[in-house]
Amino acid sequence: MTSRRVSDFEFNSLFRPVVLSSIFLWSFCGTVLGAQLPSVATIISPSGKDYEMPPEGEVSVRAEGGLVFEAKIDGKGPFKAVFDTGSGVNILSAKMAEKLGLKLDAQASELGTSSPAYVQVHKTRVDTLQIGDLLLRNQVFYVIDFPGGVDDTSIAVGYELMRRFAVKMNYERQRITFYDGPNFHYSGPGKAVPLRIQDHALLVKASIGDASGWFDLDSGNDSGTMMFTGFTVKNNMLQALGAHFLGYNGRGFAGPSPQAYLARVNTMRIGEVRVPSVIARFSTDPSDKRDLDGNIGQDILRHFTEVFDCIHGQVYFETTKESAEPEVFNRAGLLFDSFGHGLQVMTVLPGSPGAQAGVEIGDLITAIDGKTPSDEMNQPAFLEPSGTQLRLTVRHGTETRELKVTLKDVL
């Protein structure tokens, strides 16, 4: 079998598992490597009309959590799919491709990730992809055999739809709307921000105080907005923000990502759009050589309704009742990951309620107030008001302990 190496831009991806609405999907968070940033806005056009939609040029579907919707492939389904603006290509899990009986290209490609590791992928084509009354024909998908196995079938779409359609992501009403791209003209109340497309990455100019740079808009990133090493060091972000908490920063195909600093940011803007107070992560890892300055994820995007008009090089931010609400950080001061059997504690912030209660790195939280916790990155129980007392069932080695944690603001 022969193989070719796919550029990081072609996938625009740092792979990490996320859980959306109990459907185990894989998110492709932007980590653009070796980027040559454009000097002008890039206007793109659909490569031929390979889709059908109602005459009014608009299709709206329910999207759980603002991102997860139902889709059919070759008339089969519906299946759960995630709309990921950080995914430069359409993605299928190997399990899904097998379930659909799809034929894979014999030639493999090697996907470069943010680590030195590469992942083998294959291409396939589907005759139809249907989302509500929207029908796309002859679509290319990249098939990935996710490590460790995935119980639920997985589909992710992003750029390939956005280069054909204007897309409205409404987190508040939990809907996604697709508009016929070539005929779309925005007339809503949102603020326009110039959108630049660099090898399938959706880039905007954003700033923290006086420091500005180019950031990837990535709806699939549920772990939080990230500032890459070049931006962090050049602008002395740790000193400027008083960042002193260093903690777990997720994992990819090659294992855990390097740790990052956590800090609250009150002065961030995307273009002229003011971002609510948010917890951002700041990389100082010297191996992080990305030219891009950072990645903007769900923690910011969900505070607005976004309309992506890639064909005309604009993204519009419409305010909602969430637009001025500050992000609430885990009030137990715990960072964790889920490996399918509870919440594995990866970081205990010094002086936090979790530390005071005796929670340790490596502990497994199997229950919160007697209930099995979900796999959500932002556990709702840990976002309850300060003063709330929680009872944690914690497995420490072979011992099971009951710990009481009284929540308070940590960041």
Same domain as 214, residue 126: no
Do 177 and 202 lie in one domain? The reply is no
Residues 378, 249 share a domain: no
Q: Can you give the CATH number for the domain in which 9 is found? A: 2.40.70.10
Task: Provide CB contacts within 8 A for 107, sequence distance 6+.
Answer: 1, 2, 3, 4, 122
- Same domain (yes/no): 26, 128: yes
Q: What CA dihedral angle connects 144, 145, 149 and 154, to 10 degrees?
A: 30
Residues 196-207 as b or e (16 or more Cβ within 10 Å = b): bbbbbbbbbbbb
Per residue in 338-369, pLDDT tens?
A: 877 789 999 999 999 999 999 999 999 999 99
> How far apart (Å, rounded) are the C-alpha atoms in residues 375 and 280?
21
Please count the structural domains in the chain: 3
Is the domain of 31 the same as that of 139?
yes
Residue-wise pLDDT tens digits, 194-229: 999 988 899 999 999 999 999 999 998 877 899 999
- Same-domain check for residues 209 and 157: no
d(CA 11, CA 28): 8
Residue 367 is part of a domain; what is its CATH number? 2.30.42.10
Residues of the chain predicted below pLDDT 70: 1-48, 110-119, 146-153, 252-255
Residues 178 and 244 in one domain: no
pTM for the structure as a whole: 0.86
Asked whether residue 339 falls in the same domain as residue 306, the answer is no
- DSSP output for 155-201: EEE-HHHHTTEEEEEETTTTEEEEEEGGG----SSPEEEE-EEETTE
Residue that finishes a domain, picked among 183, 214, 240: 183
Structure tokens at 386: 């300060």
Q: Which two tokens stand for residue 299?
A: 């923690």
